[in-house]
A and B are shown apart, each in its own frame.
Chain A
Amino acid sequence: MLRDSPRSRVTLAVLVALAVVLLVLDGRSGHNPVTAAARAGGELVFVPAAAAAGYAAAPLSGLYDTVRRAPGASERIAELEAANAELKGELHAARLDEGRAENLDELLHLSGLGGYEIVPAQAVTRTTPRGYADVATIDAGTESGVRADMTVVNGQGLVGRVIDAGPRTATVLLATDVTSAVGARLESTRKIGVVTGGTVPGGPEADLTLELFDMEAPVEAGDRLVTLGSHEGAPFVPGVPIGTVEEVQVAPGALSRLGVLAPAVDFASLDLVGVVVAGPAEDPRDSVLPPKPDAPEREK
């Protein structure tokens, strides 16, 4: 029914064979010179083009944000006015108060708390054409000291790990990706578990799922988690906040306890991130976690 010349079929067969060879080459683990060279070439084109697009799109994205936020703007103004009045009151109180050194702590970045050495980078892309993988491209690469299997964080906590690094860009596998698994430790009880992106089989619907190995370990909503850390800090350095337990599922007969996590990082608005190029000299444990929110102070 579908006629075609033999020559054309041979062309198709050659191209398909070539694609399969590339797939096999790149699918194998380990370094491969052919695909690495190809990726380096792709990046050579991508970096200037992405920079130009970012430069050209800056006013447009500003406009987009303005339009998108317009419906909530009046509410937001009222909210800000209220907050402003409150802040003015607090300012008066603060003058009378002793110098509040605690405020300075908030200015200290996560890296200062944990003793990490961080390379800052900006997330350039967030979606992939087919939309399965949860990855982001960042604009720092091996020239800035970024290598594969390094931890990526931002001001709030763990973002993910670098899976591929070119000279000037790197691909980050976000913690919410289904293939991502992070060793985790509970802040309060020091019990260990694994935080998996998405939903594990039999688990509840979630962005991040916690699997605790100890069935008896006390865990409840509100418990916070930090990374456990890997051997020599790759791919995960210890002590980075991952998220807060929202809900614990007790499934009869299960081998582990599952929990739904609220990520510490807002993955929808990923912008400035840091790649940890050197881990802390010693495990910071949970000193990186922000202080527990206090009970609401009494009205002034």
Chain B
Amino acid sequence: MNSQDFQLLSGVVRDRSGLVLTEDKIYLLESRLVPLARQRGLNTLADLANELRRSNDAKLKDDITEAMTTNETFFFRDNKPFDIFKQSILPHLLETRSSRKTLRIWNAACSTGQEPYSVAMLLKEEAAKMAGWRVEILATDISNEVLEKAKSGLYSQFEVQRGLPIQLLIKYFQQMGEMWQIDSSIRAMVKFQNVNLLESLNMLGSFDVIFCRNVLIYFDHETKAKVLSKMHKIMANDGALFLGGAETVLGICDELNPVSGLKGVYTPATGGVLAAAG
């Protein structure tokens, strides 16, 4: 791929999603965008780039962005954050919100839904402690295609075997031919919505917990800082933000602090519950 074409295509993706593609990611562009080019009757990425210059078509730009921002995910990815949520964060929230009995959780960049459904199953397993509670799980992504898949709750045999304990498969899934579908009671706990993290997040309301794992790594420094600052604004003062293992707020956003002893968890610098949660 020549440099101008790379600049054009990666520029579209960057403007629309914040995702930064460096030249070492050319292979990724090729593997994701060649199928898209073919769908439009074009043979190569050079043809696709020319088509984009000619038409400046917004739908084409959306399709390119969507193809590049779809990322792999699986149930209970990395395990540890879910243990921390269950053992440290949830007990704190149940205690401090016991009078209003509501919880709002946001999975930013949820991809095909495994993370919000993992949270939903985890909460369902804790149902005995949560009688009378109203829990809202909002799951968002920039790609409509992954959101449609997420809503359907249908997963392949391969997908249900990565991270999902067999007991939970037995309890919360039904076999549908070659696929497995997560139970409607779990699906009903999660609301899916298209949200671009580069745009305003204020309309989403305020959250007690935000999961935004393995998203910031794809952004440049400035975009990371903006997204973190916007998330901070819609977090409860004693709320928890979960980032991925290779991500941090340090040196990027001083409104948030890491929580000591809870790896990957960040909380507002002015609030900071989690010290209290012990």
Chains A and B belong together in one complex: no
